[in-house]
């Protein structure tokens, strides 16, 4: 019973060629998150949506954009990928509001930039 689905699992793109990663969820959660995780490092939050409200982290490069057309789907767009953007990209969801709500993670998309 997949709850947070990410496609594709592996993505290869060329330096400077725009790429889109997708995430969908069956949990009907208010909040969706995108993380970047480089090898053997902690996930780094790029941004999150609370319903339709977009929240960017202060240090997220402008090269990264996101769209959430509806509750179930969220996309990560990398406008001009550089070699430093090669990483695992994790999507996660959670309920909104106060409380110790856990985040549910997808399996990730591993991005390679050539």
Partner 1 sequence: AQTVTQSQPEMSVQEAETVTLSCTYDTSESDYYLFWYKQPPSRQMILVIRQEAYKQQNATENRFSVNFQKAAKSFSLKISDSQLGDAAMYFCAYRSTTGTASKLTFGTGTRLQVTL
What are the angstrom distances between the C-alpha of 23 and each of 69, 98, 100?
11, 24, 23
Report in angstroms how near the CB of residue 101 gets to partner 1 at its nearest: 5
User: Of 18 and 76, which has the nearer Cβ to partner 1?
Assistant: 76
- Out of 56, 65, 107, 112, the only residue in the binding site for partner 1 (CB under 8 A) is 107
Report in angstroms how near the CB of residue 102 gets to partner 1 at its nearest: 4
Contacts with partner 1 in 40-69 (CB under 8 A)? Answer: 40-43, 45, 48, 50, 55
Structure tokens at 89: 């990209």
> Is 100 near partner 1 (CB under 8 A)?
yes
User: Of 7 and 14, which has the nearer Cβ to partner 1?
Assistant: 7
The string of DSSP codes covering 37-85 is E-TTS--EEEEEEETTEEEE-TT--TTEEEE-SSSSEEEEEESS--GGG
- DSSP-derived letter for residue 33 is E
User: Of 70 and 100, which has the nearer Cβ to partner 1?
Assistant: 100
Q: How far apart, in whole angstroms, are the C-alpha atoms of residue 18 and residue 28?
A: 29
Structure tokens at 54: 């977009």
Binding site for partner 1 (CB under 8 A): 4, 31, 33, 40-43, 45, 48, 50, 55, 90, 92, 94-98, 100-103, 105-108
């Amino acid at each position: 019973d997949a709850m947070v689905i990410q496609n594709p699992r592996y993505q290869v793109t060329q330096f400077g060629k725009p790429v889109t990663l997708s995430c969908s969820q069956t949990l009907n959660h208010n909040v969706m998150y995108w993380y970047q995780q480089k090898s053997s490092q902690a996930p780094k939050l790029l941004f999150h949506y609370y319903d339709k409200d977009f929240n960017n982290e202060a240090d997220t490069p402008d090269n990264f954009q996101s769209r959430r057309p509806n509750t179930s789907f969220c996309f990560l767009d990398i406008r001009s990928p550089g070699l430093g953007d090669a990483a695992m990209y994790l999507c996660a969801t959670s309920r909104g509001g106060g409380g110790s709500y856990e985040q549910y993670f997808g399996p990730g998309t591993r991005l390679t930039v050539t």
